[in-house]
Chains A and B, each alone.
Chain A
Amino acid sequence: MNLSRRKFLHTSAAMSAAAAAGGLSLPGMARAADATTIQYGGSAWLGHYPAYLAMKSGALSAAGIDQQWQSFGTSSARMSAVLSGGIDIACTGIVSALALMARGSKHFSIVAVPESFGKVEGLFVRDGVNSLQDLKGKKLGVTFASSAHLLVLDLLGSAGLSNDVTVLNVPAPEIPGAIQSGQIDAAAAWTPQFNRIRAMSGMKLLADDTQFSLYKKYNVTPGPDVLIVRNAWAEKNGEAVRKYLKVYFDACQTLRDKPDEAARSLIPLTGMSALDQIETIKGADWYNLAQQTQLLKSPGNYADGLQRLAEMLVTYKQIDKAPAVRQWVNTSYL
């Protein structure tokens, strides 16, 4: 069922009118009685756009899914909530998921890949710094344990500068302020901080995720997003997961084909300007449902890339051992 946003809005309006006519005038009571409630772990990061868009357009409600949006500051906090049973479905940076896999957690499965976002995460430097070598002796701010951190470790390692640059742990929201006040000389960040730093005068983008060593061969960025489900919940609600994925990838299609329209719905979530919002949407390659089986196939280029990424995390002492990623992939809901 490929409904357009307009159709969904019409459907929602008709359902609301019917509910009101039936005396169900309270907003909470307008939901279908048999709707499956899904606790979703989100944030303003672009990986969550499809879930947010599907919720705001009314497409999820129309499919009988009541998505409860729960915000998290970091992927690790979100994954902790998955472990404790508070979140059923979430988009997460793979680094957190790999860290949990390395600990042997069987609480979740990877069911889809929403996008590839090579162009909205990267390393910014001040004008005058023209290469990684120019960063020698300088301070670089990045949020530790993030995909941007892995990008920095990879770039500095490849340039032989691992011990020559002071890499500081700065929480993502503090990075623009830290670079503006001169406390750090360079910064690695992702959207929306990426957009804020790029808008500053005297700053330039030295490298983005497309310079990551695994990108060219595997199309894998330092911290690709994956959509995960909590196994205990998904096993009981398999049909809801299937419906969810269908609506989810309809939203991905809207993001890909109608970025202007999608941007209007996303601005309340991200607080970006309309132009930045559109550009951020266009900065990612939004996958479709048909691509998922190929992406997650093992052996396969992308899945192999994820495995290499896990091994790279071991090399950089981020995790103790590389998990066999394919054991956490479940394509049965597609």
Chain B
Amino acid sequence: MNHRQPSRATLLGVGFASVIVFLLAWEAACRTGIVDALFLPPPSAVAEKIVAMMADGTLLANVLASTRRVMTGFIAATVVAIPLGIVLGTSSYARAAFDPILSFLRPLPSMSWIPLSLLWFGISETQKYSIVFMGTFAPALVYVIEATRNVDPLLIRAARNLGASRWQVMREVILPASLPQILSGLKIILGLSWTCVISAELVAAREGLGFLIMNGKEFFQTEVVVLGMVMISVTVLVTDIVFRAIERKVLGWQA
């Protein structure tokens, strides 16, 4: 049997058609009353809301507020987790010392940090960054440790034999060798930081997609809730594309 691989255009067409069919079925279910629009608004109502909020500028303001919080918390977590993870990944003593603390921090959901973060940072943007930071730091650290430990020991030994210092081994060997796995992990963590920002925006927020969803929920404006969810997905998709571009640039040597 001769199986021809479908072209990229065909696959894109299938994907596009499935989205259209899904939206049409959803719209029809709402319009015919099979689904109560109070429980699930039709896509047309969501689209209408998107247009209205884009026109008055509130949608962009909310997207930017959440993106700023996500990126600040995520970058802060990354900046701390990468060097610390490399140290913990290469030193069994350091790992033995940190492991119990990491085991304690790792399962804590971002929501659980809200009361303490309020006491530490008050009602401020720093408090929201801290929620994203605390929700992403431990998982990011685990990814970096694992990536570091997976580096081929032969490479490290070879560098040592050639006279490289500990610092040089870390910078010139371990970091580049573990980078692909670290970046794969960070992509997942970036998605996680969007769940954290929703927790962060539950308290003392006046804008942001999390605030939009929660406020929409209070007034049963389900199209605003769905709009917020859609915007989170779109924003994650966009940041993912940006992240892939960075990955290609940073890991160009790997191609």
Contact = CB atoms under 8 A, between A and B. Distances in A.
A167 B211 CA distance: 14
Contacts of B251: none
A49 B217 CA distance: 26
A103 B203 CA distance: 26
Contact of B123 (A96, A183, A318): A183
Main secondary structure of the interface of B (DSSP, over half): loop
CB-CB nearest 4 A-B residue pairs: A145-B218, A183-B122, A99-B219, A183-B123
Interface string A82-101: 01000000000000100110
Interface in B193-207: 202-206
B215 interface: yes
A57 to B, nearest CB: 34
A100 B36 CA distance: 13
Nearest to A143: B218
A250 to B, nearest CB: 33
B32 to A, nearest CB: 16
Interface of B: 38-39, 115, 118-119, 122-124, 202-206, 211, 215, 217-222
A102 B115 CA distance: 34
A181 interface: yes
A182 B204 CA distance: 14
A139 interface: yes
A99 to B, nearest CB: 4
Among B38, B123, B218, B222, chain A packs the most CB atoms within 10 A around the CB of B218
B10 to A, nearest CB: 42
B219 A169 contact: no
A168 B122 contact: no
Interface in A94-118: 96, 99-100, 102-105
A184 interface: yes
A144 B215 contact: yes
Interface residues of A, number: 31
Given A104-B38, A105-B38, A183-B122, A99 B204 contact: no
A169 B206 contact: yes
Given A177-B118, A183-B122, A170 B220 contact: no
B118 A141 contact: no
Nearest to B115: A174
Contacts of B215: 144-145
Contact of A319 (B202, B203, B219): B219
A170 B39 contact: no
Contacts of A141: 123, 204
B125 to A, nearest CB: 12
Interface of A: 74, 76, 79-80, 83, 96, 99-100, 102-105, 139, 141, 144-145, 167-171, 174, 177-178, 181-184, 318-320
Contact of B204 (A96, A100, A145, A169): A169
Contacts of A174: 115, 118, 203
A41 to B, nearest CB: 15
A80 to B, nearest CB: 8
Contact of B218 (A99, A104, A178, A181): A99
16 contacts: A80-B220, A83-B38, A96-B220, A103-B221, A104-B38, A139-B123, A144-B215, A145-B215, A168-B123, A169-B203, A171-B202, A171-B203, A174-B118, A177-B118, A178-B122, A183-B122
Given A99-B220, A169-B211, 15 more contacts: A76-B217, A76-B218, A76-B219, A83-B38, A83-B39, A99-B221, A100-B38, A168-B204, A170-B123, A170-B203, A170-B204, A171-B202, A178-B118, A178-B122, A183-B122
Nearest to A317: B219
A144 B115 CA distance: 18
Contacts of B123: 139, 141, 168, 170, 178, 183-184
Nearest to B218: A145
A139 B115 CA distance: 19
B166 to A, nearest CB: 45
Contact of A103 (B38, B115, B119, B202): B38
A177 B203 CA distance: 13
B199 to A, nearest CB: 12
Contact of A169 (B115, B118, B205): B205
B198 to A, nearest CB: 14
A144 B203 CA distance: 10
